Each structure stands twice: as C-alpha cells, then as structure tokens.
Amino acid sequence: MEVLMPEPQIYVERTLAIIKPDVIDKEEEIEDVILRSGFRILQKRKLQLSPEQCSNFYAEQFGKMFFPNLTAYMSSGPIVAMVLARNCAVSYWKEMLGPSNSLRARITHPHSLRALYGTDELRNGLHGSVSTSSAEKEIRFIFPEAILEPLPTGQRARDYLNLYVKPTLLAGLTALCKEKPAEPMIWLADWLIEHNPNKPKLQYRVSQQEPQQ
C-alpha cells in the first residue's frame, strides 16, 4: 500500500524593518526596493512611539552614550514598521541595510540602504533585527497580535487562547445564537474567517496606542 506522507511545513523566516522618522517621506521608494528584493510585507503599521516606548524597544542599548539621543531621534516623528518574510530574512535584510554608521556605509557599502538614506552614525534611516530571536521580540513589541513560528506551548499557549481564541469564539457563538442561520456550521466558519484577530492589517494612520509586549 502506498503510504501518504503529510506535506512538509515550510518555515518562512521573518524580520522587523523600520523606516525611521527622518526618511519616512521615502516610504514608497523603500518599499519598492524591499519587494523587488524578494521580500513579502506581511504586516505594516505607521505609528509614533513615545520616548518611553523607544527606551523599552532599545532596552539592550541602555547605558550607552548615544542612548538618550537614540530615543529622542526615534520618538521625534512617525515611523513605518513592517514584518518582512523570505528565506533567511534576517541576514538578507541586514545585508541590504549595511553598517549601522551611515558615514562608514558610504565607504564600505555604497549601495546599501543606510548609505543611500542615512545621515550619520545615529540617523541611519532604517532599522533591522540583528537575529531571529531579536526579530521575534521586536515583532511582538510592535505587532502584539502577530503569530510567530514556532507556535507557543505551555503557559504561552494558554495565555494566547485566553487572550484571543476564547473571546473570539464566544463572540462568534453569541452572534450565531442571535442570527439562527439555516447552515450554522458554515455561517460560523465564515464569521470566524471574517473576524480573525490575527488577520494582517495595514494601518496607515498615526497611532498613539502603546504597544504591548
């Protein structure tokens, strides 16, 4: 007998990209470069972070001389955050960005994005996650509703079910009881698809809502 094997599950790596306040007017131009480089933009959000939120986001840099200037720079205006996906997304995006110091990038990597859009060591125009673990942490900071692989287990899974799945399912069942459709299972399935809390949403308006970690 022929044994039917399940289709392989392909893990697509994700990374966080941020267009910083001083180059936000180049948003469309930069997005075009991203898409032509083989990335998919899974989620996108335009927002403005407070100095406190920037301090939390760059917590690993706390104590360094440039930290106050960094938080002031990143909170000085709106940013555009994007979740990018492709094979080896973290390393490809880091390669496209070039060195963090834009002045050095112009010498060593003249075609990199920071060489093209950055100003100096601090105002380098764009952000990218330095590792897959940093990418997961940063994506959850900016997009707290995102589902990242591998899927959570244990207490993290229970927290996720209580926060997102149970409230959505309860709302769907309540709506089903009120509607009383002829085909309840099909109706509920359509309702859940429409009200999926993890459906990627493009947000172009500036949001002052504090991200949750």
- Annotated catalytic residues are 127
Closest CA to 57 of 140, 119, 122: 140
The encoded tokens of residue 182 equal 């002829």
CA–CA separation, 24 vs 153, rounded Å? Answer: 38
The type of residue at 167 is P
Q: Which helix (H) or strand (E) holds 207?
A: strand 202-207
Q: State the Cα angle at 150 between 210 and 138, rounded to 5°.
A: 30
Question: Is the N-terminal amide bond of 150 cis, ω within 30° of 0?
Answer: yes
For residue 141, report the phi and psi dihedrals to the nearest 5 degrees: -70, -45
The type of residue at 18 is I
CA–CA separation, 152 vs 205, rounded Å? Answer: 30
